[in-house]
Amino acid sequence: MRNISKHDYVFWNRKTKKPVEGYDIVYHHSTIVEMINCVGELKLGEDVFIECVAALPIKEQIKFSEAIEKTK
């Protein structure tokens, strides 16, 4: 996928099967580590998890890739 890397992560709601912040917002893994280190504890909602974009279903990866392309 053109705009997707195995280093890109999102806050993903497993119940709704949608990103919490929208398809155009992804975080590099180093940013996630910084968030955890700075805050001490990253509080997520009950059904919200940090997911690798490359591990999501291909149809979701396409949505992320297209949304990221529009922001360029």
pLDDT tens per residue across span 9-46: 999 999 999 999 999 999 999 998 888 888 766 778 89
> Is residue 3, in this structure, part of any structural domain at all?
no
> Is residue 2, in this structure, part of any structural domain at all?
no
DSSP string, 12-57: EETTTTEESS-TT--EEHHHHHHHHHHHSS----TTEEEEEGGGS-
Lowest mean pLDDT among 41-45, 48-52, 54-58, 68-72: 41-45
CA 49 to CA 10: how far, in whole Å? 8
Residue 21's domain spans which residues? 8-71
**Domain count for the chain:** 1
CA 2 to CA 30: how far, in whole Å? 20
Global pTM value: 0.86
pLDDT in tens, 57-70: 999 999 999 999 99
pLDDT of residue 1: 66
